[in-house]
Structure 1
Amino acid sequence: MEDMLYDYHLSMAMVSRDGYTAVREKAFKLAVMKKYGVSEEKFDRSLQYYMRHTEKLHDIYVDLTKRLENEARAQGASESELAQYGDITSKGDTTDIWHGSRSLVLSPYAPVDRETFEIKADTAYHKGDRLLLSFDSQFLIQDGMRDAVVVLAVTYSNDSINTQYQHISSDSHQTMTIDSGDSLRIKDIRGYFLMLRGQQPTTTFKMLVLSNIHLVRMHIRRGEGVQNADSLQNPDPIRTIGGEPVNPQAIPEQPAAPPARTPADAMRERGIPERNRP
């Protein structure tokens, strides 16, 4: 099953890259089934089984994520493209504060239709911290809409709350950002992932795989609010592109443009008498 899902996800990525259509998606899916000698009906029944045993599918996707990352490296992807803050644990002003599982599998049916999280702030949080939630989404759907939501809510020291809400409706890399401004310190972070049920029959399988989940806290250093007298009198030097600072006083002063010529001036230059002018 892991090998089939590996090829299935690669084929769906090709469909998305080259232009999605339902016909292309069906053709690529059937090509994967043919490779493993499995009928589409048997593949669908297997996914229905995993809908009832999502913990087993979660273990499969932990291994799949590693395999897909290794394949991306082999194809030349950079570490920054792969990580998207994924390798950050604590690097100066940027820290990955996510403590939950890096991969989740959701189905539309309780209790596995949602995953909630809560993070209490400590003394490492500063005023003006920015939060970036990122993850990869991948749907496995027999029929129906791709529909899920992610909610991120931040409570500040003055008990005000900033909430961000985002729909998940495609197989892609997803990000959410919350900026707390200059004066507020984060007190508490809460949120959840929720897969919506919709109107599909209970016999239809529908799953959402979330992987590479990261919640990055960044200390944002704001610019100085008040400039000193020297900086006002001597503004930042002009720089040429890729070159050294240019002294504004050394730039030669351009001559003033001559005044615009009027029609009367032109006629006078041509010697047309005043009385013959229109």
Structure 2
Amino acid sequence: MKSNCTKFITLSCLFTVLMLFVGCKPSIPSDIIQPSEMEDMLYDYHLSMAMVNQTGFSDVRQKAFKLAVMKKYDVSEEKFDASLLYYMRHTDKLHDIYEDLAKRLENEARAQGASESELSQYGDITSKGDTTDVWRGNRTLILSPYAPVDREVFDIKADTAYHKGDRLVLSFDSQFIVQEGMRNAVVVLSVTYANDSINTQYQQISSDSHQTLTIDSGDSLRIKHIRGYFLMLKGQQPTTTFKLLILRNIHLVRMHVRKGESTTPNDSVNNQDPIRTIGGAPVTPTPAPPTPDAAPPTRTPSDAMRERGIPNHP
């Protein structure tokens, strides 16, 4: 009887310890910038980098704007860098931050006057007739140079909705946060057709910009499989150096291209009205008077920085 009681008490204690272990989530260390403040700092950091790119990128300007953000939050550069290293090694926490940050940056872009097409060519497409967004992964990815979070692989099997001659357009926005060293990543898009031939497109990612890859199948080939990956390259750097690549607004658009359709975008300058005829003589239509250009946006990254109290270094 005593032995059974002892076993029961031991099992109860073990169960209690396990419940405590499962119920307690690891907290952010006190010497690390907490998620809410880190999100605000990264938001201002991205605004600053947008200002640097707009006015002419240089290492000196990048450093000056970064320090301006640190000054606003009264955080040392060492603490900011150490916090980034922490979040880089805990990508689940960093991903949560960037999910919210992506929405804030998109709202800021709209406030500055960016059009919907500038934000993302196909951002609102789910399925519109002959054009469908077939991407099923996360719209935001965060990569570091260290495995296993240095790559994101995708694999899509085509179904009966794919037609001969379909065109694929992979698009995304890239944003680097690099302490030092080169910005270096690659994206590969590979298509396998019904006859097992393969078409592969490769592109290097080395800047903060909107990126696109396009594959045209021709009018006689049906897509069987789509594969590819994003890969951030490590390069020669110490493990204490942080490098992050944020990929946002990821879309993989499949377009049904009808036979004879041009593979280049329509250009309103080259698209002339057809010549009309009166009594057999050609008559060129009178061109419509030009409409005045829309007023340029009045709000810039510099304005946004000033509103948020970030010093504007020359």
Q: TM-score, normalised by structure 2?
A: 0.73
Superposition deviation, residue 134 in structure 1: 0.4
| Alpha-carbon distance change, 251 to 94 in structure 1, aligned in 2, over 3 angstroms | closer
Q: Deviations over 1:41-62 (max 9, x none)?
A: 1100001001110111111111
Q: Deviations over 1:110-131 (max 9, x none)?
A: 0000000000000000000000
Partner Cα distance (1:248, 1:78) in 2? 45
Q: Which moved more, 1:243-252 or 1:32-41?
A: 243-252
Larger radius of gyration: 1
Q: Which moved more, 1:174-183 or 1:73-82?
A: 73-82
Corresponding residue for residue 109 of structure 1 = 146
Residue from 195, 199, 208 that aligns with 1:158: 195
Q: Number of matched residues?
A: 237
Corresponding residue for residue 86 of structure 1 = 123
Corresponding residue for residue 38 of structure 1 = 75
The one-letter code of the counterpart of 1:249 is: G
Partner Cα distance (2:247, 2:192) in 1? 25
Stretches of structure 1 lacking an aligned partner (at least 5 in a row): 225-239, 253-278
Residue from 167, 171, 176 that aligns with 2:208: 171
The one-letter code of the counterpart of 2:199 is: N
After TM superposition, list the pairs within 5 Å mapping 1:148-227 onto structure 2: 148-223=185-260
Superposition deviation, residue 79 in structure 1: 1.9
Partner Cα distance (2:76, 2:279) in 1? 74
Residue from 271, 280, 288 that aligns with 1:249: 280
Superposition deviation, residue 34 in structure 1: 0.5
Partner Cα distance (1:51, 1:73) in 2? 29
| Alpha-carbon distance change, 184 to 197 in structure 1, aligned in 2, over 3 angstroms | same
The percentage of aligned residue pairs carrying the same residue is 79
Superposition deviation, residue 13 in structure 1: 0.9
Structure 2 residue matching 1:71: 3-state secondary structure: helix
The one-letter code of the counterpart of 1:170 is: S
Superposition deviation, residue 85 in structure 1: 0.1
Superposition deviation, residue 99 in structure 1: 0.1
Q: Which moved more, 1:51-60 or 1:125-134?
A: 51-60
* Kept after mapping to 1: 8 A contact 2:139/2:249: yes
Superposition deviation, residue 74 in structure 1: 2.0
Superposition deviation, residue 181 in structure 1: 0.6
Superposition deviation, residue 188 in structure 1: 0.2
Superposition deviation, residue 242 in structure 1: 5.5
Stretches of structure 2 lacking an aligned partner (at least 5 in a row): 1-37, 262-270, 284-314
Partner Cα distance (2:74, 2:190) in 1? 47
Q: TM-score, normalised by structure 1?
A: 0.82
Corresponding residue for residue 11 of structure 1 = 48
Partner Cα distance (2:201, 2:282) in 1? 50
| Alpha-carbon distance change, 241 to 149 in structure 1, aligned in 2, over 3 angstroms | closer
The one-letter code of the counterpart of 1:134 is: S
Partner Cα distance (1:183, 1:160) in 2? 12
Query: Does 2:101 correspond to 1:70?
Result: no
Partner Cα distance (2:282, 2:155) in 1? 58
Superposition deviation, residue 136 in structure 1: 0.6
Superposition deviation, residue 81 in structure 1: 2.0
Superposition deviation, residue 216 in structure 1: 0.3
Partner Cα distance (2:135, 2:49) in 1? 28
Partner Cα distance (2:282, 2:127) in 1? 47
Partner Cα distance (1:117, 1:148) in 2? 16
Structure 2 residue matching 1:203: 3-state secondary structure: coil
Corresponding residue for residue 62 of structure 2 = 25
Residue from 74, 88, 93 that aligns with 1:51: 88
* RMSD (CA atoms): 1.7
Partner Cα distance (1:223, 1:111) in 2? 45
Structure 1 residue matching 2:244: 3-state secondary structure: strand
The one-letter code of the counterpart of 1:194 is: L
Superposition deviation, residue 221 in structure 1: 1.1
The one-letter code of the counterpart of 1:89 is: T
Structure 2 residue matching 1:15: 3-state secondary structure: helix
The one-letter code of the counterpart of 1:109 is: Y
* Kept after mapping to 1: 8 A contact 2:88/2:244: yes
| Alpha-carbon distance change, 188 to 251 in structure 1, aligned in 2, over 3 angstroms | closer
Structure 1 residue matching 2:280: 3-state secondary structure: helix
The one-letter code of the counterpart of 1:69 is: E
| Alpha-carbon distance change, 190 to 247 in structure 1, aligned in 2, over 3 angstroms | farther
